[in-house]
C-alpha cells in the first residue's frame, strides 16, 4: 500500500540560472548554470513527498529517449515507486525550456510529448483504494486524460474516504469547464495558482475565483498567489495566509512543493490551516534554488523551519 498515488504529467525540465535580460534577436546572453531536472506536477509532487519520508508512487508516460531515462533514474534515486511509469511507443518525453530572468517571472517553452498520450488507463480503482491520498497533477494541459477516465478514479476515492487533490496546468484561454466541473464535484482540495484561476473563471478577485470552484463542488479551494501567499475557502470559513520571505532564485515547482506539504498534513491528520502551513514552508524551500525539486526540504529541515518561522493565517 502506498501513502500517496500521484498521476498526471511527467516532464524533463531544461532550466537556466537567472540571466540579466532576455536576449534580443541574434544576441547571446550568458547564464551561470544550466540544469536538466525532472518536472511536471506528478513527478515533482512525488519527489518532494519521497524526500519527506512518504511512501509514494507515480503513474505517467515518458518517451523512449535519453530524457525519459533521466526522469526515471531521477525519480527512482529519490525513492519514488516507478513501476507504473510507462513509455510511449510513439512520442518523445515531454520537455519544458524554462528561462529565468532576474526580477521577473519564469518563461516557458513546452513540448507536450508523451503527456498528450497519457489517458490514465494505467490507473485502476483498485489501485486508488490501496492508497491513502490520491493526487492528479497537470490536468487540462492536453486533451488527455479524458474526464471519463478521471471520474471513476475520483469516485472510487470518494467512496473509500480517500482524499482527492487536483492541480491543473492551463495552457491559455479556453472553455475548460466541461472537463473540469465534473471532476471538481469529486475533488476534496483544488489548488490552482492565481493565473490559472483567472483563465478558468474570468475573475481577477481570488475570493470570487474560490467561490466559483466551491460552487462546482470542491470542498476546499486554495488559490496560491506566489509572494502574496494564498486564500483558502472551505466549510470552516475564509482565510488568507501570508507567504514566507526567503531568498528567491527560481519559482519552478513551488506550487507542487506546496501541494506536497499539504498532503503531508493530511497524512499527519492535520487540519486545513496547519496543512497550509506545511505547504507554504515547502513552497518557500523550493524557490531558493534552480529546479522544481532541487532545494525542497526533507522532513527534519521542514520541522526546523516551521518551528523558527510561524506563518500568519487570518480569518476573513
**2-23+31-315 maps to which CATH number?**
3.40.1190.20
- Consecutive H or E run containing 303: helix 299-308
Provide the pLDDT for residue 41: 96
Assigned C-alpha cell, 178 = 466541461
Q: How far apart are CA 70 and CA 73, in angstroms?
A: 5
Q: Centre a 10 Å sphere on the Cβ of residue 221 and count the other Cβ atoms it contains.
A: 26
Q: What is the pLDDT of residue 243?
A: 96
Quote the pLDDT of residue 249: 86
pLDDT of residue 137: 97
Give the C-alpha separation, 203 to 166, whole Å. Answer: 20
User: Which pLDDT does position 1 carry in this prediction?
Assistant: 84
| Cell 500500500 belongs to residue | 1
Q: List the grid coordinates of 26.
A: 541574434
Residue that is written with C-alpha cell 471520474 in the block: 151
What is the average pLDDT across 183-212? 97
Q: Three-state DSSP class for 286?
A: helix
Asked if 183 and 139 count as a contact pair (C-beta separation under 8 A), the reply is yes
The β-bridge relationship of strands 237-241 and 313-315 is antiparallel
- Reported confidence tier of residue 104, pLDDT bands at 50, 70, 90: confident
Predicted local distance difference test score (pLDDT) of residue 111? 95
Q: Among 178, 170, 270, which Cα is nearest to 220's?
A: 270
- For residue range 229-250, list pLDDT tens digits in order: 999 999 999 999 999 999 988 8
Per-residue pLDDT, 292: 82
**Taking residues 271-294, what's their average pLDDT?**
94
Amino acid at each position: 500500500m502506498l501513502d500517496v498515488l500521484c498521476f498526471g504529467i511527467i516532464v524533463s525540465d531544461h532550466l537556466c540560472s537567472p540571466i540579466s535580460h532576455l536576449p534580443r534577436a541574434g544576441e547571446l546572453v550568458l547564464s551561470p548554470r544550466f540544469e536538466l531536472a525532472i518536472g511536471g506536477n506528478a513527478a515533482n509532487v512525488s519527489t518532494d513527498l519521497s524526500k519527506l519520508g512518504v511512501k509514494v508512487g507515480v503513474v505517467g508516460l515518458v518517451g523512449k529517449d535519453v530524457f525519459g531515462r533521466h526522469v526515471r533514474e531521477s525519480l527512482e534515486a529519490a525513492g519514488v515507486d516507478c513501476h507504473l511509469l510507462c513509455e510511449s511507443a510513439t512520442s518523445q518525453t515531454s520537455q519544458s525550456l524554462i528561462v529565468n530572468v532576474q526580477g521577473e517571472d519564469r518563461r516557458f517553452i513546452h513540448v507536450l510529448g508523451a503527456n498528450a498520450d497519457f489517458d490514465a488507463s494505467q490507473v485502476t480503482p483498485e489501485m486508488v483504494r490501496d492508497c491513502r491520498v490520491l493526487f492528479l497533477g497537470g490536468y487540462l494541459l492536453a486533451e488527455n486524460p479524458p474526464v471519463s477516465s478521471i471520474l471513476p478514479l475520483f469516485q472510487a476515492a470518494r467512496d473509500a474516504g480517500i482524499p482527492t487533490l487536483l492541480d491543473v496546468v492551463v495552457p491559455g484561454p479556453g472553455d475548460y469547464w466541461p472537463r473540469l466541473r465534473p471532476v471538481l464535484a469529486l475533488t476534496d482540495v483544488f489548488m490552482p495558482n492565481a493565473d490559472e484561476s483567472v483563465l478558468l473563471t474570468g475573475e481577477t478577485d481570488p475570493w470570487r475565483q474560490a467561490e466559483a470552484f466551491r460552487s462546482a463542488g470542491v470542498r476546499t479551494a486554495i488559490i496560491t498567489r506566489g509572494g502574496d501567499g494564498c486564500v483558502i475557502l472551505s466549510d470552516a470559513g475564509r482565510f488568507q495566509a501570508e507567504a514566507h520571505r526567503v531568498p528567491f532564485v527560481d519559482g519552478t515547482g513551488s506550487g507542487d512543493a506546496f501541494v506536497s506539504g499539504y498532503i503531508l498534513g493530511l497524512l499527519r491528520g492535520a487540519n486545513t490551516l496547519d496543512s497550509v502551513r506545511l505547504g507554504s514552508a515547502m513552497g518557500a524551500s523550493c524557490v531558493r534554488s534552480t529546479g522544481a525539486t532541487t532545494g525542497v526540504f526533507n522532513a527534519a529541515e521542514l520541522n526546523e523551519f516551521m518551528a523558527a518561522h510561524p506563518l500568519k493565517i487570518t480569518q476573513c
